Amino acid sequence: MTRSLSFVSKFARFNTVSLGLLTLTLSLAACGSQAPATPSTSTGAASTDSNTVDFGYDGQDHSWTAPDTSLSALALGAGSNTLSYENWTAASNGWGPIEKDMSVGGNAAGDGKTLTLAGKTYAHGFGAHANSSMTFNLGAQCASFTSDIGVDDEVGDRGSVVFQVYGDGSKLYDSGVMTGASATKTLTVSVAGVKELKLVVTDSGNGNANDHADWASPTLLNCTAGSTPVTPPVTSPAPPSGNIQYSGPIVITKGGTYSGNWESTINKAAVLIQTSEPVTIINSNIRSRGNLISGFNYNLTVLNTRGYALNPNVAGKSAGRAVNAEELLNLDVENSYFEGTTGIYARQFKGNSSAGQTIKILRNQFRNTDGRQSDGNGGYLAKWDVVQAVLFNNVQRVPNVEIAWNEIMNEPGKSRTEENINFYVSSGTPGSPMRIHDNYIQGAYNLDPVNDSNYPGGGILLGDGLVTDPLNSGFTRVYNNQVVGTTNHGIAIDGGTDNQVYNNRLISSGRLPNGQRIAAANVGVYVWDLNGGSKLATPTFGNNRMADNVIGWTRVAANGTTSNNASWLPDCGLRGTVCSNNQDIGTMTLSNEQQEYQSWQAKLSSSNVKVGP
């Protein structure tokens, strides 16, 4: 099918000067489908249906067990919750992995088809294979569970299974034997007070050939999210109480540990570092009309600190950086909070990596990264600078870099970020790639998200810019992140070498928090050699990987109709680049976005991680 996509590539800024915008509109032939794998031998009975496949037993063990997952209770929203959106605590399957929102297919993950029972298709559910089991920690939050069940149409009238539902170890339901010729059944059982829900499929005692069992539209009903449901904050947290007494700006010329409350009421840094000796800023409050913390050639640690950008009140000027690190020796920012800033900016690493110097940005909170330009009178122009919550510029060949467990959230009308995290001509090393993991990123908006469809901003961008040496861009591992509602893309690779993106969740309803459509909503993930690095004499694009991500990325048209656009992968297969097993979980809503935030909160709790001061 033909897909029209608009991508805008931006070049990272040196200091505050934008190097330009490149707009490309493409009409692309895409959307190939992956057929289910067929076993090498087939022993099942013949079928007269030419649209079915015989998944007969071949004498080999094809069983599958899910990796270890969190044992915490599901972070459910009030009302109804689609179970296939949730994480199981344990799962096993008789043939290949259990699939979410598709039939089980064959051996490989993501090789199923649309869930189909008796000719009816389903957008959500589980494709399982006898003998299988899925366990969910309900936490006694729901009143009942319902699902359509049956043997998927892809095996015709073959297959013979039994569906069972258990609550806290007691059998709540047994379907009896069902075959491919059986009519679809709808089960509804009470799970009031049930903490552990288990869904089981057995082979009915005659072997498991063709036993493709669908739990279609599995739904938990009348759930409660607790007396105080966890939701993303509607407004940014309040600044420190008014009794904090700020002193003027500080210039640090000697290493040591500093704690205080500093403020700059002019367009200069509140904290200026002018030493290469190790400096630690801890338990501090900083606010400024310029950069909060700035300097060159420094070795800086920031701990348990709160930073607030003030409107510069200079026409055409955007807010200051939270941390401006130029030609840095070492940077470690942990458990801090930054609001309204233009993020952490790291340009050129000059440190001694063999002595342990590197860059770490861990367990921080960022609110409303804001590149809007001031009008000089307390308001803003309809102009902006290109900014990110975290931007690496020409940070090359640096080992042991880690950006993890950060919570980055933006609100429309209060922020203007490009990507939330961007790596411009930057790289780790082959032996020690940069690790970007377990971050929660929510929101990326232009100035008029309801009407302006031209916007390149998103969640995480790898390989930005063009290099001539393959060691100078790439070597990253991006995993276990949750990216929600970031408009143009969730995570993208548009250059570099050995960028690997896997096991992430990317969710977008295509709507603002108030329900209005986002005109520029685009695609969950993409892989694109934007700058032609693969065509250079020494290629600088290749060996990238986009795999095993869960994606629900919805676009809302002006007439209110929806479409899903999980991925755009024109350059998979180019110079060893691989894209596989990325799962499209279908149409998303604002409720799904809320559930993702609740899942993040539960993840923090179960992992005993505290973000922010």
Q: What is the 3-state secondary structure (H, E, C) of 447-464?
A: CCCCCCCCCCCEEEEEEE
Name the nearest CA neighbour of 353 among 255, 296, 300, 432.
432
User: Across the chain, what does the average pLDDT equal?
Assistant: 87
- Which H/E stretch holds residue 367? strand 365-367
Query: Would you say 552 and 586 are in contact if contact means Cβ atoms under 8 Å apart?
Result: yes
Q: For residue 71, what pLDDT band results from cuts at 50, 70 and 90? A: low
Say what the pLDDT of residue 335 is: 98
Q: Which residue has the higher pLDDT, 46 or 477?
A: 477
Tally Cβ neighbours within 10 Å of residue 208.
Answer: 24
Q: Which residues contact 25 (CB under 8 A, 6 or more apart)?
A: 4, 5, 6
CATH 2.60.120.1060 domain residues, the chain: 78-223
Q: For residue 333, what pLDDT band results from cuts at 50, 70 and 90? A: very high
Q: How confident is the model over 528-542, as a mean pLDDT?
A: 97
Q: What percent of the chain has pLDDT over 90?
A: 73
Name the nearest CA neighbour of 213 among 134, 148, 129, 157.
129
Residue entry with tokens 């040591």: 256
Question: 78-223 adopts what CATH topology?
Answer: Jelly Rolls (2.60.120)
Q: How confident is the model over 561-586, as a mean pLDDT?
A: 96
The C-alpha atoms of residue 541 and residue 310 are separated, in whole angstroms, by 40
Please state which of the ranges 50-59, 403-412, 505-514 shows the lowest mean pLDDT: 50-59
Name the nearest CA neighbour of 490 among 519, 451, 457, 452.
457
Please state which of the ranges 79-93, 243-257, 448-462 shows the lowest mean pLDDT: 79-93
Q: How confident is the model over 27-51, as a mean pLDDT?
A: 29
The helix/strand/coil state of 599 is helix
Q: Answer whether residue 35 shows pLDDT above 80.
A: no
Would residue 253 be called left, alpha or beta, if left means φ above 0 and alpha means ψ between -120 and 50 degrees? alpha
- Which H/E stretch holds residue 579? strand 578-580
What phi, psi does 162 have (nearest 5°)? -130, 125
Name the nearest CA neighbour of 490 among 500, 474, 504.
504
Q: Answer whether residue 21 shows pLDDT above 60.
A: no
Say what the pLDDT of residue 28 is: 29
Q: Answer whether residue 7 shows pLDDT above 90.
A: no
Query: Would you say 557 and 563 are in contact if contact means Cβ atoms under 8 Å apart?
Result: yes
Burial of 227 (0-12, 13-18, 19+ CB in 10 A): exposed
